[in-house]
Amino acid sequence: MANLSLSHSPDVNITEKQKSVMSGSLQIRVFPSTSELALSLAQVLVHESQGSNGFKLGLSGGSLVQLLSRELPKTPGLCTQDWKVALCDERLLPFTDPESTYGEYQRHLIQHGVLSESQFVKIDPSLSVEEAAADYTRKLRELFPGSDVPSFDLLILGLGPDGHTASLFPGHPLLEEKDQIVAPIKDSPKPPPERVTLTLPVINAAKTVVFVATGESKAGVLKRILQDAESDPLPAARVAPTHGKLLWLLDEPAARELTCPVEKHSVL
């Protein structure tokens, strides 16, 4: 991977977040194109999973499904046999529904043979949302025996234009959840309203968290998250792994309003 430059403006006030960037505890990588970002994400998966014994991965939905299904089948050095994959959040829908995140992975990733259905930890969409959250909690407890708070090897998160991530939305009471590792949500402002989501304690317990954000529609909210100090930070701004790494992968349109230090990469 070629690191083309490290750029920042010396004229802006340095915030704590910018200090984190410069100290290396937070990395922001910017790519000329979505295809280069996708290739870099695949390389991150290879790197983070090498040498692991039972690699535990958490995935989000949306455009991430297409990025992974396009790159992973042709990624050299990728060995997924011992992986276990959970979803960072899921809509309470049948897997045959086009809005089901697991259904999307079935259709676009599993069919390529990169992963098998048995490697996924799934919700039970036949249950009520409260029962589905409790059932998913039990499955994660089995995946992480002896851990009060599961610690994934890698979580890959997306970002909504409103700053939400997983199914954690601005101003929602679930942002303050401290006890549950999985929570039901009945009133999602983004349809469908009923969902199951990992909570912030689990997200922040991960060894590595990667955010993927593309497109001009994310530029304004990324500036708020990565540069602006807010008394009531957006959900994605609350993601700060306690003992892990935080990496943002952005394309140039998404990063266009940032003035903090970023690494400009090209992988082609």
pLDDT of res. 137? 98
CB 65 within 8 Å of CB 75: no
**Under-70 pLDDT residues of the chain:** 1-24, 267-268
Q: Which domain holds residue 211?
A: 26-246+257-266
Angle, CA 82 vertex, CA 81 and CA 84 arms, to 5°: 110
> What CATH number is given to the structural domain containing 93?
3.40.50.1360
Domain membership of residue 160 (yes or no) is yes
CA-to-CA dists, residue 85 to 153, 168, 229, 230, angstroms: 10, 20, 34, 33
Greatest distance between any 2 Cα atoms in the chain: 55
Domain membership of residue 235 (yes or no) is yes
Report phi then psi at 105, rounded to 5. Answer: -65, -35
CB 84 within 8 Å of CB 52: no
User: How many structural domains comprise the chain?
Assistant: 1
Domain membership of residue 18 (yes or no) is no
Domain membership of residue 234 (yes or no) is yes
- 151 CB burial (10 A radius; 0-12, 13-18, 19+): middle
Domain membership of residue 213 (yes or no) is yes
pTM of the model: 0.90
Domain membership of residue 4 (yes or no) is no
CB 110 within 8 Å of CB 116: yes
Domain membership of residue 37 (yes or no) is yes
Domain membership of residue 19 (yes or no) is no
105 Cβ partners below 8 Å, 6+ apart? Answer: 59, 65, 115, 120
